[in-house]
Amino acid sequence: MSTGKIAIRVVLFAISILLVGCELNAKGSAETALEEFNLKKALYCMEILENRPDLEPKHRIDILRNECYSEHFIEHSPNIPDGRDALLSLFESRYKKYPKLSMSIKRTASDGDLVWLHLHVKHTPESLGGAAIQIFRMEEGKIVEHWGVGQSVPKESKNSNTMF
């Protein structure tokens, strides 16, 4: 094979490597943008769901139903009924029972269509509250699936680490 043909093959190989790298980078950028969008949307929805007792119930439910939760919402936590309307009803009754309910976000992460939130939820300002991890699967800008785990914040701990 002549030196010219080898040089052409080397150049074509280098171009193909560059094109594949650009395609992977574009795919990674699109994935990162989707993850950022999903995280921002989940944070917005959790703010409305957990931290806005000041909103009129009908307005809050309309936002959550139309902007946040899919009509095909699936609940995996065993102490929460399945379905979007059951979840919204549960939270409306929580607001009636705990009008000073509050939530603060401690950590967040996202990967593809999944979002994780580490929360401190308090029924009253003076309560110790609970630590919760919420995992959401997002689809087309809405929460379509939820898994959650939580535990109460104890008065005393067997270690000097904080739960948050």
SS (H, E, C) 82-128: CCHHHHHHHHHHHHHHCCCCEEEEEEEEEECCEEEEEEEEECCCCCC
pLDDT of amino acid 27 = 55
Could you tell me the pLDDT band of residue 55, with boundaries at 50, 70 and 90? confident
Structure tokens at 65: 């139903």
Q: Is there a contact between 42 and 101 (Cβ–Cβ < 8 Å)?
A: no
- Residue matched to tokens 């270690």: 159
Mean of all residue pLDDT scores within the chain = 87
Amino acid at 84: R
pLDDT tens-digit series, residues 124-140: 999 999 999 999 999 99
pLDDT tens-digit series, residues 71-129: 999 999 998 999 999 999 998 898 889 988 899 999 999 999 999 999 999 999 999 99
pLDDT at residue 10 tops 80: no
Structure tokens at 68: 């946040």
| Rounded Cα distance, 116 and 149, in Å | 11
- Indicate the burial class of 30 (C-beta count within 10 angstroms; 0-12, 13-18, 19 or more): exposed
pLDDT of amino acid 57 = 86
Q: What does DSSP assign to residue 141?
A: T
pLDDT of amino acid 29 = 73
Could you tell me the pLDDT band of residue 54, with boundaries at 50, 70 and 90? confident
